[in-house]
Structure 1
Amino acid sequence: MSSGDERDGGRGEGAPPEQLALIRESVRKAEVPRAKPRTWRGAALAKELPVARVLVDKGVLHLDRYFDYAVPEELDAEAQPGVRVRVRFGAGRGRVRDGRREGGGLIDGFLVERVAETDYSGPLAALAQVVSPEPVLSEELLGLARAVADRYAGSLADVLQLAVPPRSARAEQRPSPAPLPPPAVPEVGSWARYEHGGAFLEALASGGSPRAVWNALPGGEWSEEIARVVGATLASGRGALVVLPDGRAVARVDAALTALLGQGRHAVLTADAGPEKRYREWLAVRRGSVRAVVGTRAAMFAPVRDLGLVVLWDDGDDSHSEPHAPQPHAREVLLLRAAQDKCGFLLGSWSCTVEAAQLVETGWARPLVASREQVRGAAPLVRTVGDGDLARDEAARAARLPTLAWQAVRDGLRQGPVLVQVPRRGYVPRMACANCRAPARCRHCSGPLEGQEGVDALKCGWCGQEEAAWHCPECGGFRLRAQVVGARRTAEELGRAFPAVPVRTSGREHVLDTVPGAPALVVSTPGAEPVAEGGYAAALLLDGWAMLGRPDLRAGEDALRRWIAAAALVRPQGAGGTVVVVAEPTLRPVQALVRWDPVGHAVRELSERAELGFPPVSRMAAVSGPPEGVAAFLGAVELPGEAEVLGPVPLPVTAVRGARRVGAPPVGERWERALIRVPPGRGAALAAALKAAQAARMARGGVGGEVAVRVRVDPPDIG
């Protein structure tokens, strides 16, 4: 851990350089030059500060600026900075700060500031309406949103759509509770298991701003440990923000905070709460009635007063990456907040991402880890089954369950529940030719053919058409084999193998939160593993090659993270806990799991990526679209001199069951993608260049046959 106050004397200079650059740039953009006063045709204007600068809710890059409007006298009292307003946009009623007029009709917006003068030469339109006198956009939130927009080459209006929830009039009318006094400093508790754990809590309680990357010990204590660091921050009179990957994790931390601090000290922000309740909780935070927030991805923008600590759990989880423009990642947003507010920072996980390792290597954060003795005492025994073992194992060839795994299940069921992790949901998600192993593809759209429960015909995973007479175009064979067996099929096989044992499944359609401690088989997809009372007696991690074999830079890191997340739910080795992973034991992620050393794996990955110039050491952006659109964009963008363009290369069609994934090409349309890479310290320049090029193309409105392209900074998949 490290204290921001000690490192930079309270000036924030110890923050990552790119984070500071974005904050300073957002401040510079807010400094708008003044010009001589102008008049307005209509009713009487406000006597003081008659000009309102408004950010209109049009998330297009070429309109990513403020508009000036006149403030009528009757709206003077309510038209204060931060409120929602409605304005007439276009047709001579509003204006763009460079004089261009676009759009039309009444649209929503935020009143950013009131000024005495405007530099617009023509008459200004008046504010049409103050939607609510509730100030929802503070200067701090506006600065954060601008920094996020600049980092991800997006528009400020798009970021504010993510940051400020939709209005609920009934929620605004309800008064928020009075703030509670700071609680007592909590005991160190299980933080004593970590080197410098007690010092971290002490620094927070005394008003310091330590920054740490926390490698949590396996088990269920992590939620209580997060509650204790929040309690220590509240005891110092400051606020705290915790962002978690899903509602199940939020519920655990919510329960831990309530048990430690009591009711009324924290707000819960999740989409499951419904729009009115969520907005009511958000308002309580904005008004200062509540100083602590626990929530999922959208809570990363929560307007916590006097922010003293931001916490992110499991930053490698895909759910922390926002699918809507400009697609920010919660980790990067919280890093910006830590730099802007000079507050504490805690990045925790059972595993360790390469980005987390980079924060430690650069000295911006310090490691918060347990000793090897503590790790060995808390982790289960991990055993491996490799390809050589499977080839010699008759039981594995017949039933897909190696003898070692069979014995682990049998022994584990004598003591309690056994977890079985399967990489894919469904029945038989992927099929291949039994002779040449070529993937079975649909004749209509080239999508993957899947097996169906109780049906002989195959079905395409993309277009949904059935295939009853498949043959291999490579070798002419007619026999099929399963590439990956899904969770339902695995549950069916295990049910036959252990007929007297109940079998439960947990996956996308139905995710279990907890299971009893009685003997049972629990088949789960990664990320959906329920918590067992007293911990699992054993766990099987099947088909490891399916996760390790993905053509993705993060394949090994993601596989290790998912394995450790499942194994962390198993009892310690001293209590008989055993994990069997079916994967080649010589591979680096498998060895890291056996040694329970995710930090060492992340450090080695970071070193290799530094040599190859891959993220996070370099900054990267993806430009995707039809070939002519990508070529036109690359020809027009003014990239930094150090930028390197990789590609473009064809993109595979990845639409699923008729619905297009974010960033994926439409079914049947050929797309390409180019990657643009810049060295460390040039990410802000790359984002600015991409944003300017996209804004210019949008301003032209597709004139000259231009084709739209998609730009994403820090793409999660560059495989």
Structure 2
Amino acid sequence: MSSENVPEQLALIRETVRRAKPRTWRGAHLAEELPVARVVVDKGLLHLDQYYDYAVPVAMAESAQPGVRVRVRFGARVNAAGRREGGELHDGFVVARLEASDYPGVLAPLAQVLSPERVLTPTLLGLSRTIADRYAGTLADVLQLAVPPRHAKAEAEPSPAPLPPPPAPGPGSWQRYPQGPEFLAALTAGHAPRAVWTALPGPDWPAEIARAVAATLAGGRGALVVLPDGRAVARVDQALTELLGGPERHAVLTADLGPRERYRNWLAVSRGSVHAVIGTRATVFAPVHDLGLLVVWSDGDSSHSDPRAPHPHVREVALLRAAEEGAGVLVGGLATTVEAAQLLRTGWARPLAAERAGVRAAAPRVRTVEDTDQARDAAAQAARLPSVAWQAAREALKAGPVLVQVPRRGYVPRLACERCREPARCAHCAGPLEAPGADQVLRCAWCGVEQPEWHCVECGSFRLRAQVVGARRTAEELGKAFPGIPVRTSGREAVLATVPDEPALVISTPGAEPVAEGSGYAAALLLDGWALLNRPDLRAAEEALRLWLAAAALVRPAGEGGLVVVVADPGARPVQALVRWDPVGLAELELGERAQLGFPPVSRMAAVSGTPSAVADLLGVARLPDGADVLGPVALPPLRGQEQERALLRVRPGQGGALAAALKAAQIARVALRGSEPVKVRIDPTDIG
């Protein structure tokens, strides 16, 4: 199957399932004009992924317009007298009003118009359909991600009047990048530049994003910024508020706002009252009018990949949307992903980076430490730090706070037998055992069952040793090694946004590092680098460097005494890239290797997982594109007592759409023909290790 056949195959799929049309209905008083409403029903099943036609009662003739939310009865039956029975009510959206339907029977009527607000624009509908097809998902599932739930009180409130465009901002700190002022000028002129931005370390990147947004607004177009978490959103929100003279010109969309405030802000964007929006993952679908710029910050962050079906990635949605709407793109971050390097290699985007002199002026000094022999210093031994790292922390604490990055949360998350080094496993589910606290009973990290009488099944020993030490244990040890110094922790249980500019030890897991007020951290210690580098994942090197750069960027420049100590193999490529502060170089090397091996992004891939019989069944049904490779299947950890397998499917560039269509057709065929065990299909899986 070639990629040219994708539209025909998808059309065939949708035509095949039209037999699930609504049942007949009698006695309707229908609208005189356009009496048929075509509806997408919120029923996220692959074999029901199509539009359904409903009759429009005369009472709803004015309100049932394209884009509004409605309620419809789905799955009704017709009794012997020809009357409708049963059927469940489901939400949906009207996508069109028609003169007639191609369904030969009598249509069921719309049950209710939930709101006259037109929330599903033709542009948003087209984008959602494109994303559903790309990721082998359903339109209903994508719309659940794209359109927030309705809040009646917020909908009843009027949105503010739109403000005139602001004046064009000056280049500010964009002058540090040779192409920076030119990029802003292109946005102000209404053009659509596309750039991969390698941001300099330090606190300026939120202000630089704000200037790019302001330049777009000055050109009379809208802007959209997607960030990985609420802390990053808060920093850009503050920068925009300061630059634009208040919060009126932009909207914020995050889950932390609550349903009412979030929907109010979304409506302000949808109604055209606000032309700039910033937020987390789902913001990429925000219906910005006349979109001129999409910004994706830190596109390698796993938060940008939606955990809900069909698992779209923010970067890919942004690129597709920019192409459809003629908008500019700024994919930026402290690190550079392999996908961003591919955009540069193909010429789709241009690089936006500082000269080497500028990088050296902004970056802290980086030292590598491999020697873990701590016998030379009793305090260093107590703190579980190499002597060099302990001494660096001691000196830096005289000037300000010190950041300590620990790859694992908890106390002791991984244990092994002290005698034979066999990993400690749960007797119930074979999951890894962890020590939740100094005096607490061992428990399984998977099922939570306590193991008070553990012993090694290999050698019979009852003694354990720590394989990995978590953030809480590290904080406890450092507190003893540096008496009198405050110790703060930031991680999953409580993430700090900022810490004061005063001597303190800040223990953080990757991604939870708080910003140090003032000039930044005096030093950062990046511990247990092997835990990041040794992950059995294709992205291990890229991810390790991204996490290290995020922490190191919070440290003062080398000219102000800033120092980063990374405890890892000095010869590892990510470590060398950190020392040189060269994320682009590592991304190019990784891209070259993947090109030789045929791995993404130079190819397209899908993961198929389920029970062994279900995976084999789907692979047998699927009509994969010509030349498709099937890697595996391989065993996965059991799920609810059942064996699991995963197979990876790989196709050449240009065949990604055909692969998604083939897998979707196979899923529909399995449901329609025999109704067998479910199989999870994920296009562009983030983890293919």
Place the TM-score, normalised by the shorter chain, in its bin.
over 0.9
1:594 to 563, 576, 579: 579
**1:26 and 1:146 in contact (8 A); partners too:** no
1:433 maps to 2:417? yes
Change (3 A) 1:402 1:504: same
TM superposition shift of 1:355 = 0.7
Residue 356 of structure 1: SS of its match in structure 2?
Answer: helix
Change (3 A) 1:130 1:669: same
TM superposition shift of 1:679 = 1.1
1:712 to 671, 678, 682: 682
In the aligned structure 2, how far is the partner of 1:624 from the partner of 1:435?
Answer: 37
Q: What's the counterpart of residue 628 of structure 1?
A: 613
In the aligned structure 1, how far is the partner of 2:261 from the partner of 2:387?
Answer: 52
2:102 to 105, 110, 119: 119
In the aligned structure 1, how far is the partner of 2:226 from the partner of 2:7?
Answer: 21
1:94-142 Cα deviation digits (max 9, x unpaired): xxxxxxx999222111000011121111111111211111100000000
1:538-586 Cα deviation digits (max 9, x unpaired): 0000000011111111111111100000000000000000000000000
In the aligned structure 2, how far is the partner of 1:44 from the partner of 1:110?
Answer: 21
Name the Cα RMSD after superposition. 2.5
In the aligned structure 2, how far is the partner of 1:393 from the partner of 1:558?
Answer: 33
**1:186 and 1:228 in contact (8 A); partners too:** yes
Change (3 A) 1:454 1:313: same
Aligned residues with identical type, % of pairs = 69
> Please, which moves more after superposition, 692-701 or 135-144?
692-701
In the aligned structure 1, how far is the partner of 2:614 from the partner of 2:393?
Answer: 54
**2:77 and 2:86 in contact (8 A); partners too:** no
Q: What's the counterpart of residue 298 of structure 1?
A: 282
1:325-369 Cα deviation digits (max 9, x unpaired): 111111111111111101000011001111111111110001100
Q: Which amino acid aligns with 1:677?
A: R
1:540 maps to 2:510? no
Q: What's the counterpart of residue 233 of structure 2?
A: 250
Q: What's the counterpart of residue 560 of structure 1?
A: 545
**2:10 and 2:661 in contact (8 A); partners too:** no
Q: Which amino acid aligns with 2:119?
A: V
Q: What's the counterpart of residue 517 of structure 1?
A: 501
Q: What's the counterpart of residue 669 of structure 2?
A: 696
2:91 to 108, 120, 125: 108
**2:441 and 2:450 in contact (8 A); partners too:** yes
> Please, which moves more after superposition, 441-450 or 282-291?
441-450
2:263 to 262, 279, 292: 279
1:178 maps to 2:161? yes
In the aligned structure 2, how far is the partner of 1:24 from the partner of 1:240?
Answer: 35
Q: Which amino acid aligns with 1:415?
A: A
Q: Which amino acid aligns with 2:137?
A: G
Residue 67 of structure 1: SS of its match in structure 2?
Answer: strand
**2:25 and 2:106 in contact (8 A); partners too:** yes
Q: What's the counterpart of residue 504 of structure 1?
A: 488
1:572 maps to 2:572? no
Residue 670 of structure 1: SS of its match in structure 2?
Answer: strand
**1:40 and 1:70 in contact (8 A); partners too:** no
Alignment of 1:212-611 (within 5 A): 212-261=195-244, 262-386=246-370, 388=371, 390=373, 399-455=383-439, 457-533=441-517, 534-611=519-596
In the aligned structure 1, how far is the partner of 2:222 from the partner of 2:510?
Answer: 33
1:606-626 Cα deviation digits (max 9, x unpaired): 000010011111111111011
1:612 maps to 2:597? yes
Residue 260 of structure 1: SS of its match in structure 2?
Answer: helix
Change (3 A) 1:335 1:461: same
Q: Which amino acid aligns with 2:476?
A: E
**1:171 and 1:279 in contact (8 A); partners too:** yes
Q: What's the counterpart of residue 211 of structure 1?
A: 194
1:160 maps to 2:143? yes
TM superposition shift of 1:28 = 12
**1:619 and 1:714 in contact (8 A); partners too:** yes
Gaps of 5+ in 2: 17-23, 79-83
**2:69 and 2:92 in contact (8 A); partners too:** yes
In the aligned structure 2, how far is the partner of 1:698 from the partner of 1:278?
Answer: 37
1:232-261 Cα deviation digits (max 9, x unpaired): 000011100000000000000001000001
Change (3 A) 1:168 1:647: same
TM superposition shift of 1:483 = 1.1
Residue 118 of structure 2: SS of its match in structure 1?
Answer: coil
Q: What's the counterpart of residue 678 of structure 1?
A: 651
**1:22 and 1:150 in contact (8 A); partners too:** no
Q: Which amino acid aligns with 1:145?
A: S
**2:6 and 2:658 in contact (8 A); partners too:** no
TM-score with structure 1 setting the length: 0.90
**2:237 and 2:278 in contact (8 A); partners too:** yes
In the aligned structure 1, how far is the partner of 2:604 from the partner of 2:492?
Answer: 33
In the aligned structure 1, how far is the partner of 2:134 from the partner of 2:9?
Answer: 10
1:128 maps to 2:111? yes
In the aligned structure 1, how far is the partner of 2:86 from the partner of 2:278?
Answer: 39
Q: What's the counterpart of residue 71 of structure 1?
A: 56
**1:22 and 1:147 in contact (8 A); partners too:** no
Residue 400 of structure 1: SS of its match in structure 2?
Answer: coil
Q: What's the counterpart of residue 19 of structure 2?
A: none
Change (3 A) 1:522 1:715: same
Q: What's the counterpart of residue 10 of structure 1?
A: none
Residue 212 of structure 2: SS of its match in structure 1?
Answer: helix
**1:23 and 1:340 in contact (8 A); partners too:** no
TM superposition shift of 1:224 = 0.3
TM superposition shift of 1:189 = 0.1
**2:14 and 2:49 in contact (8 A); partners too:** no
In the aligned structure 1, how far is the partner of 2:382 from the partner of 2:219?
Answer: 62
Alignment of 1:10-29 (within 5 A): none
**1:88 and 1:128 in contact (8 A); partners too:** yes
In the aligned structure 2, how far is the partner of 1:199 from the partner of 1:686?
Answer: 40
**1:90 and 1:102 in contact (8 A); partners too:** no
In the aligned structure 2, how far is the partner of 1:532 from the partner of 1:411?
Answer: 17
2:184 to 201, 209, 217: 201
Residue 652 of structure 1: SS of its match in structure 2?
Answer: strand
Q: Which amino acid aligns with 1:696?
A: A
1:151 to 129, 134, 148: 134
Q: Which amino acid aligns with 2:648?
A: L
In the aligned structure 2, how far is the partner of 1:643 from the partner of 1:23?
Answer: 19
In the aligned structure 2, how far is the partner of 1:377 from the partner of 1:22?
Answer: 51
Q: Which amino acid aligns with 2:268?
A: A
1:447-472 Cα deviation digits (max 9, x unpaired): 11112323264221112222233333
Residue 452 of structure 1: SS of its match in structure 2?
Answer: coil
Gaps of 5+ in 1: 1-16, 33-38, 94-100, 654-664
In the aligned structure 1, how far is the partner of 2:210 from the partner of 2:586?
Answer: 28
> Please, which moves more after superposition, 42-51 or 554-563?
42-51
Change (3 A) 1:25 1:67: same
TM superposition shift of 1:298 = 1.1
Q: Which amino acid aligns with 1:442?
A: C
**2:9 and 2:661 in contact (8 A); partners too:** no
